[in-house]
C-alpha cells in the first residue's frame, strides 16, 4: 500500500532515489547554513560590537538630518543609545559573573516552565479531541 503507484519490481529503486534526494537536500541545506554563517562573520567584522559606545560617539552625526527639529533631537537620541549600551554591558557583566548554582537554578526553572507549558498545550489538545468525539 505504501508504493501503490508503482510496480513491486521498482520498490527498491524508488526507496533508493527517495533517500538519495533527501540526503542531497540535507547537504544543500547544510551548505547554505554554513555559507550564511561565513557571510555573517564577514559582516560582523565591519560592525564594531566590541566597543559600541566608542563607535556611537565617533559616528554620532548623521548627514540626513536636514530639519531643525531633527538636528535638535539627534543628540538626545545618540545619548539614549549610549546609555542603553552602557546599561546593556553592565547587565552582561553581571550575567557573566553569575555563580554556577544560580545558572543551574535558572535552567531548572526554565525546564519546569517548559514541562508545564507542554502539559497545558497537550491537555488542551486532549480536551479538544474529547469534546469533538461526542
Domain ranges in the chain are 1-47, 50-97, 99-134
Query: For the residues 96-104, what does the mean pLDDT come to?
Result: 91
Backbone angles phi, psi at 114, to 5 degrees: -60, -45
Query: For the residues 62-82, what does the mean pLDDT come to?
Result: 77
User: Is the predicted pLDDT of residue 76 greater than 60, yes or no?
Assistant: yes
* Torsion angle of the four alpha carbons 66, 70, 76, 78, in this order, in degrees rounded to the nearest 10: -50
pLDDT cut 70: percent of the chain above it = 76
User: Is the predicted pLDDT of residue 9 greater than 80, yes or no?
Assistant: no
- Per-residue b/e over 66-103, b at no fewer than 16 CB within 10 Å? eeeeeeeeeeeebeeebeebeeeeeeeeeeeeeeeeee
Q: Which of 54-58, 80-84, 104-108 has the lowest mean pLDDT?
A: 54-58
- At 1, is the pLDDT very low, low, confident or very high (cuts 50, 70, 90)? very low
Amino acid at each position: 500500500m505504501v508504493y501503490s503507484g508503482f510496480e513491486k519490481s521498482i520498490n527498491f529503486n524508488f526507496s533508493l532515489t527517495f533517500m538519495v534526494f533527501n540526503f542531497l537536500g540535507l547537504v544543500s541545506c547544510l551548505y547554505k547554513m554554513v555559507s550564511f554563517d561565513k557571510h555573517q562573520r564577514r559582516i560582523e567584522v565591519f560592525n564594531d560590537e566590541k566597543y559600541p559606545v566608542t563607535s556611537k560617539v565617533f559616528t554620532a552625526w548623521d548627514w540626513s538630518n536636514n530639519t531643525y527639529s531633527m538636528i535638535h533631537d539627534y543628540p538626545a537620541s545618540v545619548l539614549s543609545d549610549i546609555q542603553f549600551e552602557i546599561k546593556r554591558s553592565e547587565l552582561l557583566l553581571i550575567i557573566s559573573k553569575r555563580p554556577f548554582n544560580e545558572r543551574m537554578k535558572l535552567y531548572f526553572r526554565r525546564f519546569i516552565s517548559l514541562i508545564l507549558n507542554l502539559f497545558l498545550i497537550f491537555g488542551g489538545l486532549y480536551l479538544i479531541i474529547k469534546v469533538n468525539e461526542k
